[in-house]
Structure 1
Amino acid sequence: MGRYVVRRLGQLVVVLLGATVIMFTCLFLVPGNPVGPLAGDAKASDPVVASQLREHYHLDKPVYEQYAIYVRNLATGDLGEDFVQRRPVTEILGPKLVNTGELALAAIIIDVVLGISVGMVGALFRFGVWDILTTFSTTLAVGFPTFVTGFLLQKFFVVQLGWFPLLSQGDLQSLVLPAFSLAILDAALVARLMRGTMLEVLRADYVKTAIAKGLPRRTVITQHVLRNSAIPVITYLGISFGLMLGGALITEAIFNWDGVGLALVSGVQEQNNPVVLGVVTYGVAVFVVLNLVVDLVCAALDPRIRFE
């Protein structure tokens, strides 16, 4: 297991380098002049000012030299300097990463609690009233895009009832609606996946054998059915959590949540390459690490999974 973890962490470095190479190439090919946002439209026309800025930010060098400088700085945790605010990118992204992490954590907790519970009810009461209700509700939830759900939550709970603030104020009350808006679609998918997986496991021979031996129903469900049904659900939740941590752009825009997604959009619009590269590097690292965690959790749940 230790060798597997070391090998996967080595893959993290390779994936990070590959992602940054692609982003550097794309940003180099995109038309535009980043000196404009740096100096302002009035000063950008001054060749002396433009030359000094390009030299300071290494924009006068070939793209491969810029990339080498970026990788060297990245090894020390330096993501560069923001073009607009003239501040370190890590200092700018720090609070935004915290905000996105809070939103993603709240949403994934809703996914786990609501999605798994609804899926279990649907599987254990197959073709019953509860199964029909859960199937109908999850199908309805899947049909609503995130931006529609967000606007509906705002209209009902903010405009009509006045229970929550319209814009984020950085408190727990402001977190409720964005978290539910981000989680509802995934929770419905988790519920459907959990239901289908549990129904498949319930028909397995080892479950029938456990029941024939006279084991209590609760023991069969918890020790055999849930343990094996959880593997595909955990895999999906890991991917979903990684995407959430990478920035929930639509939800952040609707609820004015100052997170990574909005920072990425602003960086692209302002041709702020250090911010764009910083967000992409962070997102790739989080995604690869979460995939490793998911693999290890699945191995702990199912001893048949080996990584040698």
Structure 2
Amino acid sequence: MGRYLLRRLGQMVIVLLGATLILFACLFVIPGDPVGSLGGSERARDPAVVKQLRQQYGLDEPLVVQYATYVGKLVQGDMGEDYTQRRQVSEILLPKLVNTSKLAVAAMAIDVLLGAAVGTLAALKRYSFLDTVVTLVTTLLVGFPTFVIGMLMLNLFAVQLKWVPVIGDPSDPVQLILPSVTLAIIDAALVARLMRGTMLEVLRADYVKTAIAKGVPKRQVLLKHVMRNSVIPVVTYIGISFGGLMGGAIITETIFNWDGVGMAMSTAIQQQNNPIVVAVATWTVAIFVVLNLLVDLLYAMLDPRIRLS
């Protein structure tokens, strides 16, 4: 286990370096100059001011030098300075990360509780009316774009019924409901379909039929054999999905005016505020690689046949 963790940690470092290098290369070839967002309107047109600002933020250096400088500061916990607010990126993003975390955790709770429960019931009641309804509804939900669901919910519950304010307030738990449901509803449908499919496959397995033939109580067979083996693919999907949510749900956060990482990323891209863009991307990649490691460790707990070697 110790060797495996060390190897995976080394891989995580390589992935982070590779992802940030690719991102720097992409930003380097994108048309436009971020200096325009540094000095406002008139100041940014003055050649002397432009030169000074480019030197101040190291934008006149080659890509390799800029990247090396960024990595050196990142190791020390410095993610750079925001171009527009002249503040440390970590200071700006920390409260937004907290808001996004609230949204992601709430959405994942809905995914797990609703999706897994519905998928399990549909599998146990195969070809019943409930199974047909679940299959139909989940198929329709998967085909809906997130922004359509968000706008419909916002119009119904905020504009028409006036149950919640239009402007999202992360400090109010009530206002967490609409954006979290919007984020969760499509993933919950996918989890339900995945859970149903894997459960049906496990129910047809020989070891399940053998356990039932030996007289093992049905409840024990379901909990110990069927459920435990059915959740493994679901765990993989949930881990990946949660990583995406922690990286910021740009569309949902923008619709509900939720002051999170996704909204900050959207604004930074429009302003060519590269330090924010790079910081959010680095955070997202880090979350993904950590979650992949946790999912692999959880695999070994759920399935004794898997060995981390």
TM-score by length of 1: 0.98
Provide structure 2 residue ranges, at least 5 long, that are not aligned to the other structure: none
Give the structure 2 partner of residue 156 of structure 1: 156
Aligned-pair CA distance for 1:93: 0.7
Corresponding position of 1:266: 267
Question: What pairs up with 1:16-165 in 2 under 5 angstroms?
Answer: 16-165=16-165
Q: Distance in 1 between matches of 2:127 and 2:50?
A: 70
Three-state SS of the structure 1 residue aligned to 2:258 is coil
Name the counterpart of 1:169.
169
Instruction: Measure how far apart 1:172 and its partner are.
Output: 0.5
Q: What is the letter of the counterpart of residue 136 of structure 1?
A: L
1:165-187 alpha-carbon deviations (Å, 9 max, x no partner): 21202211110000000000000
SS at match of 2:169: coil
Secondary structure at the residue paired with 2:38? helix
List aligned pairs for 1:178-217, cutoff 5 A: 178-217=179-218
Pairwise CA distance, 1:41 = 2.0
- Structure 1 distance, partners of 2:90, 2:305, is 42
In the TM superposition, what whole-angstrom CA distance separates every residue of 1:131-183 from its partner, at most 9, and x where no partner exists? 12211221221122111111111122222222222120221111000000000
Partners of 2:295 and 2:167 in 1: CA distance:
34
Task: Using the TM superposition, name which of 156-165 and 93-102 deviates more.
Answer: 156-165
CA distance in 2, matches of 1:271, 1:137: 41
CA separation in 1, counterparts of 2:6 and 2:108? 27
* Cα distance in structure 2, aligned partners of 1:42 and 1:303: 66
After superposition, give the CA deviation of every residue in 1:24-59 in whole Å (9 maximum; x if it has no partner): 111111121222211122112323322221111111
Q: Provide the C-alpha distance between the structure 2 equivalents of 1:260 and 1:189, rounded to a whole number of angstroms.
A: 24
* 1:207-262, Cα deviation, whole Å (9 max, x unpaired): 01110111111100000000000100000010111111111111111111111111
Query: Which residue does 1:7 correspond to in 2?
Result: 7
Which amino acid in the other structure matches residue 48 of structure 2?
A: V
Instruction: Give the letter aligned to residue 194 of structure 2.
Output: L
Deviations, residues 93-135 of structure 1 (Å, cap 9, x unaligned)? 1111111111011000000000000000000011112212211
> Shift in Å at residue 62 of structure 1?
1.3
Runs of 4+ aligned residues of structure 1 deviating over 4 Å after TM superposition are none
Paired amino acid for 1:11: Q
Larger deviation, residues 43-52 vs 180-189: 43-52
Mapped partners of 2:262, 2:104: distance in 1: 12
With 43-52 and 22-31 compared, the bigger mean Cα shift is at: 43-52
Offset, 1:81: 0.3
User: How far apart, CA to CA, are the structure 2 residues paired with 1:106 and 1:275?
Assistant: 25
2:18 & 2:5 partners in 1: Cα distance?
20
Letter in 2 for 1:133: V
Q: Which runs of 5+ in 1 are unaligned?
A: none
Deviations 1:67-96 (A, max 9, x none): 111010010111000010000000111111
Q: State the alpha-carbon separation in 2 of the partners of residues 158 and 269 from structure 1.
A: 28
Alignment partners' CA distance in 2, 1:218 and 1:152: 41
Output the TM-score relative to the length of structure 2: 0.97
Q: CA separation in 2, counterparts of 1:262 and 1:274?
A: 15
Identity of aligned residues (%): 62
- 2-side partners of 1:272 and 1:143: how far apart? 34
One-letter code aligned to 2:128? G
Provide the C-alpha distance between the structure 2 equivalents of 1:66 and 1:216, rounded to a whole number of angstroms.
Answer: 64
The equivalent of 1:286 in structure 2 is 287
Q: Distance in 1 between matches of 2:243 and 2:109?
A: 14
Cα deviation 1:242-295 (Å, max 9, x = unaligned): 111111111111111111111112111111111111011000000110111111
SS at match of 1:299: helix
Equivalent residue letter for 1:152: L
Distance 2:128 2:149 in 1: 28
